[in-house]
Amino acid sequence: MGVDREAFIEFMIESEVLTFGDFVTKSGRPTPYFVNTGRYRTGEQIRRLGGFYADAILDRWGTDFDVLFGPAYKGIPLSVTTAAALAERGHEVGFCFNRKEAKDHGEGGVLVGHTPRDGERVLIIEDVTTAGTSIRETVPVLRAAADVVLSGLVISVDRRERGPNGGAALAEVGDEFSMPTHAIVTVHDVIELAGLDVETTARMHAYLEEFGAAG
């Protein structure tokens, strides 16, 4: 079935998650647009978000995975709502996420939720990947828990920015960990489908010209 990309972009704009103006990225780059999934703040928004992720996952991976893993912090609600949406669509999977600091009391440990087992196929779910830092930090956590198979990485928006090696950052992360990657929409989809004015469109193109990956 796939995802209605235009509907997803409209949803992000309505939720004030995708905004346009003058911002600075975590890497210090001035950018004309910003994606902040921390702005999802109602039950209906998070329900719809899980549905978009679930549809994108089923379209790209089908049911070839066992567990959703959401890196802390923004990946936590993503893993939960997407697992619920997948269950509604007839695909029951486990979900887990990591703590920023290991718990030294009670059951202890770094992971919360499903305990990964050797051989399980884990799909990582994130919001936006710019440099891949959170993935590089959390993959070792997963692999320390069990001998898991990385089924892939799914994010909401691919900014199509250059990674450390000059290619697209999302693709570089996938290559580094030998896993497929997928975004619900790309920045090119945003430019095409968001109904932007001429000035904003020009600024978006200028940003990609300076910081974007080829292709």
Q: Write down the catalytic residue from 26, 103, 114, 205.
A: 103
Q: What are the E-state strand segments in the chain? A: 18-24, 30-35, 67-70, 94-103, 109-113, 121-125, 149-158, 181-186
**Residues 20/196, Cβ–Cβ less than 8 Å:** yes
Q: Let me know if 103 is a catalytic residue.
A: yes
**Residues 69/97, Cβ–Cβ less than 8 Å:** yes
- The distance of Cα 147 from the centroid of its chain, to the nearest Å, equals 23
Per-residue burial over 153-181, b if 16 or more Cβ lie within 10 Å, else e, is: bbbbbbbbbbbeeeebbbbbbbeebebeb
- Residue closest to 73 by CA, chosen among 107, 40, 25: 40
Beta bridge partners of 131: none
Q: Let me know if 205 is a catalytic residue.
A: no
* CA 25 – CA 28 distance, rounded (Å): 5
Q: Write down the catalytic residue from 105, 114, 188, 205.
A: 105
Active-site amino acid positions:
103, 105
